[in-house]
Amino acid sequence: MPKLAAKTCLITGAARGIGLAIATRFIEEGAEVILTDLDEVAGANAARELGARFIQLDVSQESDWRRLAEQVPALDVLVNNAGITGLESGTTPQDPEHATLEAWHAVHRVNLDGTFFGCRYAIGAMKAKGTGSIINLSSRSALVGIPGAAAYASSKAAIRNHSKTVALYCAQQGWAIRCNSIHPGAILTPMWEAMLGDGPGREARLAALTAQTPLKRFGTPAEVAAVALLLASDEAAYMTGAELNLDGGLLAGSAVSPGE
Ligand code: NAP
């Protein structure tokens, strides 16, 4: 029995990476999936390959969400996946000493404002039925400090907290609209490209990034999609306000470990 039969699911930032893997998995499980992304060409191509619908959506723009609410007034599952690190250009400092206010705001506009708009839209699109699942892509960076990506870590921490607020608000209203957050560690997607670069140092940088991870590897987008599927399905009907870590064991321990 497909786990998402007859469910309409919308995913932001779905042109590639984790969002695309979630769209693919949800379709395999019988969902009617709407892919959305800032990148109209990549998003439309991805949707065509999957046989799904595509709507262009910049998550940081309130007007885009208003337009979306008219096009898709009812929904069962929303995945707030679109996100940026601020490191994409490779030139913008993101540490707490040198980051500009504009750079700080730019990351929060996409990651945090985008998730706020998404949750607000989803509540409106789910409350008539009184059921639904909102899944927010937070990060391991929500739970620890990240010296070189201050705005990213701050925005992901705020997403973690807002997910719980949304969960409690919906429960208070008497709706079975659940809201949970996923906290991936390092998942190998195009997001990492600016940080990994190419050339001879790439392999060493890949190895360095996974050296501290107990499972000693990157996670895969499909592994994140499997957790999103659980949260989207009715099997997780009693899960709301929860946070699921998916990090190869990184957050389970610490660098200083007696007995080694
Ligand atoms: P990705 O490969 O960079 O894909 C992100 C997608 O979001 C891209 O298609 C991008 O489009 C789109 N996007 C960017 N800004 C947008 C906007 N304003 N409106 C709509 N779409 C926008 O990233 P990913 O690795 O799959 O990450 C997906 C989510 O997981 C993010 O929220 C990320 O923070 C979170 N996460 C990832 C990791 C990881 O290790 N990969 C770890 C923890 C959390 P463009 O190509 O046009 O920019």
Kindly give the distance from the C-alpha atom of residue 84 to the centroid of ligand 1, in angstroms, as a whole number. 5
| Phi and psi, residue 133, nearest 5° | -135, 125
Residue 194: which residues within 8 A CB-CB, separation 6 or more? 85, 87, 88, 89, 90
Q: Confidence band (pLDDT; 50, 70, 90) for 21?
A: very high
Nearest to 118, CA basis, from 93, 91, 83, 85: 83
Q: Please report the atom of ligand 1 found closest to the CA of residue 182.
A: 44
Tens-digit pLDDT profile for residues 231-258 = 999 999 999 999 999 999 999 998 787 8
pTM for the model: 0.98
Q: Across the beta sheet with 77-80, what order do the strands follow? A: 53-56, 32-37, 8-11, 77-80, 131-137, 176-184, 243-246
Q: Confidence band (pLDDT; 50, 70, 90) for 260?
A: low
Ordered by where they begin, the domains of the chain are 8-189+220-248 (3.40.50.720)
Mutation test residue for ligand 1: of 20, 36, 37, 251, the one with most atoms within 8 Å of CB: 37
12, pLDDT greater than 80? yes
Q: By percentage, how much of the chain surpasses pLDDT 90?
A: 92
Kindly give the distance from the C-alpha atom of residue 244 to the centroid of ligand 1, in angstroms, as a whole number. 18
| Phi and psi, residue 53, nearest 5° | -90, 150
Tens-digit pLDDT profile for residues 40-97 = 999 999 999 999 999 999 999 999 999 999 999 999 999 999 999 999 988 999 999 9
Concerning whether 152 is annotated as a catalytic residue, the answer is: yes
Q: Please report the atom of ligand 1 found closest to the CA of residue 17.
A: 26
Nearest CA to ligand 1 atom 4: 17
Nearest to 189, CA basis, from 13, 16, 14: 16
Looking at residue 256, what is its pLDDT? 80
Question: How confident is the prediction for the chain on average, in pLDDT?
Answer: 97
The residues lining ligand 1, judged by C-beta closer than 6 Å to any ligand atom, are: 12-13, 15-19, 37-39, 57-60, 81-84, 110, 137, 139, 184, 186-187, 189-191
